[in-house]
Amino acid sequence: MGELLEVYEASTSASLAQYKATHASSISDVSGYWSELAKSKLTWFAPFSEGLSGSFEEGSVSWFAGGRLNFVGKENETAIIWEGDEPGNVKHISFHELKNEVCKIANALKSAGVTKGDVVTLYMPMVPELCYTMLACARIGAIHSVIFAGFSADAIADRIQDAKSKWVVTASAGSRGGRNLPLKTICDAAVKKDRCVGVVEKVFVFDGKGETGSDWEVQDIHVKMTELVAAQRPVCSCEWMDAEDPLFILYTSGSTGRPKGLVHTTGGYALFAMHTTANSFGLSQQTAASTDGPKDVYACVADAGWITGHTYIVYGPLLNGCSTLMFESTPMYPDCGRYWDMVQRHKITVFYTAPTAIRSLMRFGDEAPNKYDLSSLRVLGTVGEPINPAAWKWYFDVIGKGRCAVVDTYWQTETGGHVITNLPGITPMKPGSCTLPCYGIEVVVLESATGKEIETTEAEGVLAIKQPWPGMARTCLGDHQRYLSVYMKPYPKYYFAGDGCRRDKDGYIWITGRVDDVLNVSGHRIGTAEVESALVAHMAVAQAAVVGLPHEIKGQGICCFTTLTDGHTESDDLIKELRQAVRTQIGPFATPDMIIPTSALPMTRSGKIMRRILRKIAAGELDSLGDTSTLLDPSVVDTLSKKVEQAR
Ligand code: ATP
Ligand code: MG
């Protein structure tokens, strides 16, 4: 990864120089920079008195104190293009309709007793009602907590209990990839658990597609939401919120431990979502103020249950007045051409997905994308993990036809929005690097042992942010000490992101993986992402996950788990070849000690590999696996530990 010096020009160097000047001035006075934007971009009921106050150390950051606001939208343009599970099942929802639906749901919630500051748990399929209900909560000042519709009853119950959520909104059922999602049944199982009894007052159930499999046995708890909403007036005055009032809470993916309920605010988050969406995807010129000129058709195909869906399906595009696509299905349904079929049908201009999706589609070759007209595309985005250069190039060449910018957006649930990314048409791209910091974000690299800021351009260490920004999470719900100890205390005066990185001679950031994942092999620090990238570059490898292994001599050894592409089977020769591939690409010091081909890896439901589980499997510590509630398929643990035993 580090050896790839290819640079893909974005445009002229003049615009990069302009970016650098704007960025430098934005971080020389972050309070002033964000205050100006907040005044011009958001509508305030009462003006704020102060931009930034508080500090990382005290965990007291506040933006736009005293200001009061709520969101207002445009009227007749398309707000949401909804693409249902079955291809061609499409709805266009204008901003006017969106506002009416949001008001009706807001009134329905209010009529049942939901008030400002209450936590409303949403366990919904990817249907427009999910987006309406999120915004309805925002309108009345309730705090939404969206739980991805793939989670189990236990995971829902944990989150309901943690957030003391009196209200739950679900649908009778949903469908995804042609399969029925019995959401109400799962939700009922959660609500009936001891830890939720007495917490939950009402479960609002929208009519959904498919069988519910569960009757209305708990009449005093269940509310037929579709009927209740239909009875409401489409007018509901909004609650004027303090800029620092919580807008929502969201639990992290759980890749590294017990999920944290992060709290995001009304003013700062909204501004940050809006600003980063416009900049990172180059929307500003096209949709912000002017109504003429080409319009973007923007599609983020994440699930609304993750932060990517919150910021880049719902809040970011809608606050910019840009139409946003909501996708109910999967990239594989009915076949691996689904995304590209959608691009052609909706003339999508901005398409945003994750490396795991790109890698899995790449396995099927170029035939599917080549069948469709992809000429509407202008910007391609990626998020969630470091993207290996081979997948980046496939995305750039085969999907973008070498014409589109690929924006590699680095951020976290905690950051609320992008903090490092290239800007289309401005930043020259290097495959695998998320490039340069966003406006108003001061990124630094710290020595991991001492926490000293590394001043030289070329640097290797841990990634940190030096000054507060409006979109940062303000606390972990009900556990401010955890917030302080995870993000603020490891390196006092900095926000610690938990990721390792390298900064190259051009100041470009390369994420090397979670700090916990950096290996120390005979004194060499090796990023797991680098070894994975070397493996995935081999034709036979679809996915790779690399973890450390206790090793008597080297301290740590390298253990690689790989899934194989179609047409390849595991053999000793293949393992030798893969070992050689890592030696050639990185160096003999990175020679894997163990390579385990497998048919599946432990994934979170958001599609990330759970390396902490693999570490335990590699070390044979099966009795201390930790929280496995976010694991998609728990049976892989057994299969893999048997394979590791055999390989020893
Ligand atoms: P948890 O915090 O519960 O362990 P998580 O970190 O997977 O879960 P998210 O907030 O969804 O939860 O993911 C953020 C992380 O994803 C980042 O800290 C980083 O490790 C990784 N990441 C996101 N985008 C990129 C990117 N463009 N390049 C490299 N890594 C990325
Ligand atoms: Mg994280």
What is the Å distance from ligand 1's center to 211 Cα? 35
Q: What is the pLDDT of residues 423-456, one digit of tens each?
A: 999 999 999 999 999 999 999 999 999 999 999 9
Residue 535: per-residue pLDDT: 94
> Best of 412, 419, 603, 631 to mutate for ligand 1, by most ligand atoms within 8 A of CB?
412
What pLDDT is stored for residue 317 in this prediction? 96
Q: Is there a contact between 160 and 200 (Cβ–Cβ < 8 Å)?
A: yes
3-state class (DSSP) for residue 346: helix
Q: How far is the CA of 412 from the centre of ligand 1 (A)?
A: 5
Q: Which atom of ligand 1 is nearest to the CA of 434?
A: 27
Q: Is 594 helix (H, G, I), strand (E, B) or coil?
A: strand
Q: What number does the ligand 1 atom closest to the CA of 414 have?
A: 10
Q: Greater confidence, 70 or 424?
A: 424
Report the pLDDT averaged over residues 217-221. 70
Helices 183-191 and 153-163 pack at an angle, to 10 degrees, of: 50
Instruction: Answer for the pair 114, 120: CB distance below 8 angstroms, yes or no.
Output: yes
> Residue 2: what pLDDT?
37
pTM: 0.90
Least confident of 393-402, 413-422, 630-639: 630-639
Query: What band does 116 get if pLDDT is binned at 50, 70 and 90?
Result: very high
Q: Exposed (0-12), middle (13-18) or buried (19+): which is 516, by Cβ within 10 Å?
A: middle
Kindly report which listed range (139-148, 252-261, 391-400) carries the lowest average pLDDT score.
252-261
Please give the pLDDT value at position 219.
Answer: 62
Which atom of ligand 1 has the smallest separation from the CA of 409? 27
**Under 8 Å between Cβ of 236 and 103:** yes
Q: What pLDDT, on the 0 to 100 scale, is given for residue 12? A: 60
Amino acid present at 9: E
Over residues 640-645, the mean pLDDT reads 92
Lowest mean pLDDT among 150-154, 275-279, 320-324: 150-154
What mean pLDDT is reported for the chain? 92
Pocket test for ligand 1, best of 255, 427, 434, 528 (most atoms within 8 A of CB): 255
Sort 623 into a burial class: Cβ within 10 Å, 0-12 / 13-18 / 19+.
exposed
* Ligand 1 binding pocket includes 435 (Cβ within 6 Å): no
Cβ of 532 closer than 6 Å to ligand 1, yes or no, is no
> What percentage of residues in the chain have a pLDDT greater than 70?
95
The pLDDT confidence band at residue 274, using thresholds 50, 70 and 90, is very high
The neighbouring-strand residues paired with 246 are: 265
Residue 13: is its pLDDT beyond 80? no
Is the pLDDT confidence value at 61 over 60?
yes
User: Comparing 41-55, 277-291, 520-534, which segment has the lowest mean pLDDT?
Assistant: 277-291
Compute, in degrees rounded to 10, the torsion defined by CA atoms 269, 275, 280, 285. Answer: 160
| 376-381: average pLDDT | 97
Q: What's residue 288's pLDDT?
A: 43
Rounded to the nearest whole angstrom, what is the distance from the C-alpha of residue 127 to the centroid of ligand 1?
25
Structure tokens at 262: 């992060």
**pLDDT value at residue 363:** 85
Q: Does ligand 1 lie within 6 Å of residue 422's CB atom?
A: no
Residue 545: C-alpha distances to residues 169, 556, 608 (Å) = 36, 16, 10
Cα–Cα distance measured from residue 259 to residue 328, given in angstroms and rounded to the nearest whole number: 25
**Confidence at residue 595, expressed as pLDDT on a 0 to 100 scale:** 96
Pocket perturbation via mutation, ligand 1, pick of 252, 312, 415, 433 by most ligand atoms within 8 A of CB? 252
| Nearest CA-CA partner of 438 in 52, 56, 35, 27 | 27
CA distance 74 to 321: 6
Question: Which of the ligands is closest to the CA of residue 255?
Answer: 1
Considering only 413-427, 440-454, 517-531, which range has the smallest mean pLDDT?
Answer: 517-531
- Least confident range of 25-39, 201-215, 553-567: 201-215
Percentage of the chain exceeding pLDDT 90: 76
- Indicate whether 1 pLDDT > 60: no
Tell me the sheet residues that pair with 543.
563
User: How many CA atoms, within 13 angstroms, populate the side-chain half-sphere of residue 192?
Assistant: 10
Give, using CA atoms, the residue closest to atom 30 of ligand 1: 385
Average pLDDT of the segment spanning 569-588: 92
| AA identity, residue 458 | E
- Whole-number pLDDT of residue 291: 53
Statement: residue 4 has pLDDT above 80: no
CA–CA dist 529, 103 (Å, integer): 46
Cβ(221)–Cβ(201) below 8 Å: yes
Q: Which atom of ligand 1 is nearest to the CA of 258?
A: 3
pLDDT of residue 289 exceeding 60: no
The pLDDT assigned to 627 comes to 79
Question: pLDDT confidence of 212, banded at 50, 70, 90?
Answer: low
Ligand 1 neighbourhood includes 248 CB (under 6 angstroms): no
pLDDT exceeds cutoff 80 at 255: no
**Ligand 1 atom with least separation from CA of 253:** 8
**Upper half-sphere CA count for residue 304 (Cβ side, 13 Å):** 30
Nearest atom in ligand 1 to 604's CA: 7
Report the range of poorest mean pLDDT among 250-259, 312-321, 547-556.
250-259
The DSSP code for 413 is G
**8 A C-beta contact, residue 285 and residue 279:** no
Q: Confirm or reject: Cβ of 613 under 6 Å from ligand 1.
A: no
Question: With 70 as the cut, is the pLDDT of residue 501 above it?
Answer: yes
